[in-house]
Structure 1
Amino acid sequence: MNRPFRILGLQQIAIGGPDRMKLRTLWVDLFGLGLEGDFTSERENVVEDIAVLGRGAHRVEVDLMQPLDPARKPRVDEPPLNHVGLWVDDLPRAVEWLTAQGLRFAPGGIRRGAAGHDIVFVHPRGNEQFPLCGEGVLIELVQAPPDVIVALTQ
């Protein structure tokens, strides 16, 4: 298959729970990941800590998320492994090609993500128009910056 883009590596995993402080205790205090920042979005019903593992192009975010309002959707803690993020070398071309193959994307299209990179989500479930999907897993495709592209393709 001749695809016009490459998946370069793991960019992030996002883990949700009802109390992100318990997640922080495990991932930051016990496992020793660095805490780099936080992010809050009313629209996405999320407050998250951004923990990091590794450096440079091999740096992986571990987003520790809880819903702002547990009574509202989306529920970032259901399922607890919320999503997996993958570095992509050419996000617009990837979306165009994958859509033509029948892959379903979540509403919202390409947009700026919490870490400042352009992102898009592959829907966890297919439908009649777009039968291909994440097969139960929400997948985030993330536009890799030039230095990451160089480092992960050498």
Structure 2
Amino acid sequence: MTTETRPFRVLGIQQIAIGGPDKGALRSLWVDLLGLTPVKTFTSERENVDEDVCMAGTGLFAVEVDLMQPLDIEKKPKVHEPPLNHVGLWVDDLRAAVTWLEGQGLRFAPGGIRKGASGHDVCFVHPRGDAAHPRSGEGVLIELVQAPPEVVRAFDAMAAAR
């Protein structure tokens, strides 16, 4: 465990991403039965994904729920395996987080910081470590998401009100 001061904060859950071979079944559960609100679709050949972006809750504390299916079930990444594909965390300073976490030996997935499906800067923590980077998501793909200023302020206000 490190004693160095962490130069960023994890604010809360930004999203969960769920995959399946056919997002129609996912949509039937999450939208039709559970009542989440679909807000847009996103397709990426590079990421082998066709997804519906839905929201649970409202306002700055809403959580995005991505319903994903692969464009080609034979190609990687396999967004449907495992079905709970990844968890997204709001962070207040993504660049500082990545720099510091790499210094702690955390392994990141290829691609570095880039724009995510919802337009925020994102970076993925690899689910497995390797010799050069022994720390990992411990089997879980984790998306670190740069929180916009209004989200940071909302989390700060909520923390101050405690």
Same fold (TM over 0.5): yes
1:87-140 deviations in Å (ceiling 9; x for gaps): 000000000000000000000000000000000000000001100000100000
TM-score w.r.t. structure 2 length? Answer: 0.94
Distance, in Å, in 2 between the alignment partners of 1:16 and 1:25 is 13
TM-fit CA distance, 1:153: 1.4
1:45 is aligned, of 45, 48, 64, to: 48
Identity rate, percent: 68
Distance, in Å, in 2 between the alignment partners of 1:14 and 1:142 is 13
TM-score w.r.t. structure 1 length? Answer: 0.99
Check if 1:76 corresponds to 2:65: no
TM-fit CA distance, 1:54: 1.0
2:131 is aligned, of 128, 132, 136, to: 128
* 3-state SS of 2:39 partner: strand
Structure 1 equivalent of residue 100 of structure 2? 97
RMSD: 0.6
Q: Which runs of 5+ in 2 are unaligned?
A: 158-162
Query: How many pairs were matched up?
Result: 154
2:142 is aligned, of 139, 144, 147, to: 139
Distance, in Å, in 1 between the alignment partners of 2:139 and 2:43 is 25
Displaced runs of 4 or more, over 3 A: none
1:6-41 deviations in Å (ceiling 9; x for gaps): 000000000000110100000000000001010000
Amino acid at match of 2:117: A
Q: Which runs of 5+ in 1 are unaligned?
A: none
* 3-state SS of 1:153 partner: helix
1:48-101 deviations in Å (ceiling 9; x for gaps): 000101112211000000000001111100000000000000000000000000
